[in-house]
């Protein structure tokens, strides 16, 4: 069968690219070797948020409800039933993707694809082998967990996030190798459900260079409150089996230490699946990390092959892949589009959540901004947050002191994942602090904190006391 466009991979980049291609009148096929929706929908974003939500409900019932005067009594966690519910969420979403593809007349092909040439694919499935021809190919095959020596992932003894989201029973003790966002999200949910969690982080700080350091401090304090133990400068070396449990050996500050565990979770990052379909054989260029090189229209060096999502470089985020999916379809259809996003917002679903858009403070300085206005507004001063009993954290806003253009917004607190979209829109549109501060926000809402953070950065927040500047104008001090 011959197609105008063939998409390889049905994750959040691939299925979006296929749907948009079909909407634009292109005869489109999509090839998927596992489940529609990809890693994000089946074993990543969606199932992890389902488990995090369940753990959050449990934690609030145990700790917040009694303060409100609601006595619930003893609570039992049925891990089997919880995992079954989580899977039902994934199955529902995957079925929805299938209906969308079929409704847009995209042909779904099950199997593993391999390039025979720049014009032809071989697809291998349980039904045998078949050939697929297309004028244009979109590679959207995503990424997979990185392994380290001594810790091969088998989802039994050593688990990736996939195994950690499908536990048939709650482990008593868990060792998490890697203090990145995946490791911390899962550490939070397991700790709330009742596991003892220890995190081995090679670096000297959590989420270094990934999230605002002030925001990370709030999460680190909450993790400690939850009983999660974090070991910095810890390099896992090997593990041994001790009956039904394990002992993990790690080098910590020059000494060898052992950590006991019922489950080992490895979350040291992800790498692109660029080595699995013969891309090098047909001359597709890649960088030293295995990411496919693309131009602003997601074109590779091979004229009829495009790449999007995790395989096309950082940041490895589902919403960035979806954005690229729409873009690449429109480019193939003849529209003059390029990737020109000013920011890709990022969210870490810890407790409290961290969300960011734009540049970190150190990135602003590296970009040549010499004078910055930086302000914070705490959720503790927001009536809605207090009434929700979720008043930890703040919104931190960074702007150019000369122009007041917003450069970065970093949130740690309740509903940060939802609040960050206003910041992303503002940065994308070149908003100034005054644009946010003078926009009337509804009360009582968490969204008011965005307005008040802008006011705080300008130096005249209403619901917090700020030190006046020497000239008497009041406000947040510019930082050189």
| pLDDT tens digits, one per residue of 377-413 | 999 999 999 999 999 999 999 999 999 999 999 999 9
CA distance 415 to 340: 27
Residue 254 pLDDT: 87
Specify if 376 maps to a domain: yes
pLDDT for position 467: 79
pLDDT digits (tens, 9 = 90+) for 92-140: 999 999 999 999 999 999 999 999 999 999 999 988 999 999 999 999 9
pLDDT higher than 70, residue 474: no
Higher pLDDT, 244 or 20: 20
Partners of residue 264 on adjacent β-strands: 158, 175
CATH of the domain at 175: 3.50.50.60
b/e map 15-45, b = 16+ CB within 10 Å: bbbbbbbbbbebbbbbbbbebbbbbbbbbbb
- Say if residue 281's pLDDT is above 90: yes
| Enclosing domain of residue 295 | 2-145+271-332
Query: Does the structure show a pLDDT above 80 at 468?
Result: no
Does residue 425 share a domain with residue 313? no
If asked whether residues 29 and 137 sit together in one domain, one would say yes
- What is the average pLDDT value for the chain, to the nearest integer? 95
> Residue 190: pLDDT above 80?
yes
Question: Which residues are within 8 A (CB) of 261 and not within 5 positions of it... i.e. 6 or more apart?
Answer: 171, 173, 174, 175, 198, 245, 246, 247, 248
* pLDDT band for position 73 (cuts 50, 70, 90): confident
Query: CA-to-CA distance for 219 and 63, rounded, in angstroms?
Result: 18
**What pLDDT is stored for residue 393 in this prediction?**
98
Q: Is 70 exceeded by the pLDDT of residue 219?
A: yes
Between the CA of residue 249 and those of 144, 234, 237, 260, what are the distances in Å?
Answer: 25, 10, 6, 9
- pLDDT for res 246: 96
The reply to whether omega before 234 is within 30° of 0 (cis) is no
Residue 301 sits in the same domain as residue 249: no
One domain for residues 14 and 127: yes
Q: Over range 2-30, report the average pLDDT.
A: 98
Provide the greatest CA pair distance for the chain: 78
What is the reported pTM?
0.94
Domain count of the chain? Answer: 3
**Residue 138 and residue 280 share a domain:** yes
Closest CA to 408 of 387, 388, 385, 426: 426
Q: Quick check: is 431 in a domain? A: yes
**Nearest C-alpha neighbor of 418 from the set 436, 395, 398:** 395
Supply the pLDDT for residue 471: 39
Catalytic residues: 443
Task: Answer whether residue 343 is part of any domain.
Answer: no
Whether the CB-CB separation of 19 and 106 falls below 8 Å is answered with yes
**Inside any domain, residue 324:** yes
Average pLDDT score over residue span 27-41: 96
- Looking at residue 89, what is its pLDDT? 96
**Residues 284, 387: one domain?**
no
Verify that 6 and 26 share a domain, yes or no.
yes
> What percentage of the chain carries pLDDT values higher than 70?
97
Per-residue pLDDT of 129-188, as tens digits, reads 999 999 999 999 999 999 999 999 999 999 999 999 999 899 999 999 999 999 999 999
Both 137 and 283 in one domain: the answer is yes
With respect to residue 345, please indicate whether it lies within any of the assigned structural domains.
no
The verdict on 192 and 322 lying in the same domain is no
pLDDT exceeds 80 at position 255: yes
Would you state the pLDDT for residue 253? 85
Is pLDDT above 50 for 331? yes
């Amino acid at each position: 069968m011959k197609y105008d466009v063939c998409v390889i991979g049905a994750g959040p980049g691939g299925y979006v690219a296929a749907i948009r291609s079909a909407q634009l009148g292109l005869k489109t096929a999509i090839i998927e070797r596992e489940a529609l929706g990809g890693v994000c929908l089946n074993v990543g974003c969606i199932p992890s948020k389902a488990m995090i939500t369940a753990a959050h409900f449990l934690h609030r019932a145990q700790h917040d409800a009694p303060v409100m005067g609601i006595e619930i009594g003893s609570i039992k966690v049925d891990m089997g039933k919880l995992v079954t519910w989580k899977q039902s969420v994934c199955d529902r979403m995957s079925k929805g993707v299938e209906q969308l593809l079929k409704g847009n007349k995209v042909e779904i092909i099950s199997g593993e694809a391999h390039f025979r040439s720049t014009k032809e694919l071989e697809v291998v499935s349980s039904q045998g082998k078949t050939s697929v021809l297309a004028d244009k190919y979109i590679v959207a095959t995503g990424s997979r967990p990185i392994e380290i020596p001594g810790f091969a992932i088998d989802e039994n003894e050593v688990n990736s996030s996939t195994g950690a989201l499908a536990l048939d029973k709650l482990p008593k003790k868990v060792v998490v190798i890697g203090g990145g966002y995946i490791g911390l999200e899962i550490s939070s949910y397991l700790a709330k459900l009742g596991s003892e969690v220890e995190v081995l982080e090679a670096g000297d700080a959590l989420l270094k260079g990934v999230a605002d350091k002030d925001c990370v401090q709030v999460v680190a304090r909450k993790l400690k409150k939850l009983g999660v133990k974090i070991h910095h400068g810890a390099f896992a070396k090997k593990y041994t089996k001790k009956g039904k449990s394990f002992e993990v050996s790690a080098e910590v500050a020059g000494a060898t230490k052992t950590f006991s565990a019922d489950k080992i979770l490895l979350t040291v990052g992800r790498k692109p699946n660029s080595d699995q379909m013969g891309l090098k054989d047909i001359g597709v260029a890649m960088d030293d990390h295995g990411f496919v090189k693309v131009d602003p229209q997601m074109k590779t060096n091979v004229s009829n092959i495009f790449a999007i999502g995790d395989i096309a470089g950082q940041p490895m985020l589902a919403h960035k892949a979806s954005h690229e999916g729409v873009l690449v379809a429109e480019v193939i259809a003849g529209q003059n589009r390029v990737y020109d996003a000013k920011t890709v917002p990022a969210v870490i679903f810890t407790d409290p959540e961290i969300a960011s858009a734009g540049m970190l403070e150190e990135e602003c300085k590296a970009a040549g901004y010499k004078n910055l206005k930086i302000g914070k507004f705490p959720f503790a001063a927001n009536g809605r947050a207090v009434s929700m009993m979720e008043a930890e954290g703040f919104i931190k806003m960074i702007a150019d002191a000369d122009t007041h253009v917003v450069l970065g917004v970093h949130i740690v607190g309740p509903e940060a994942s939802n609040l960050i979209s206003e910041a992303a829109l503002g940065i994308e549109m070149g908003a100034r602090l005054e644009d946010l501060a003078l926009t009337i926000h509804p009360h009582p809402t968490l969204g008011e904190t965005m307005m008040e953070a802008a006011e705080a950065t300008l130096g005249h927040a209403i619901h917090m006391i700020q030190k006046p500047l020497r000239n008497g104008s009041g406000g947040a001090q510019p930082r050189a």
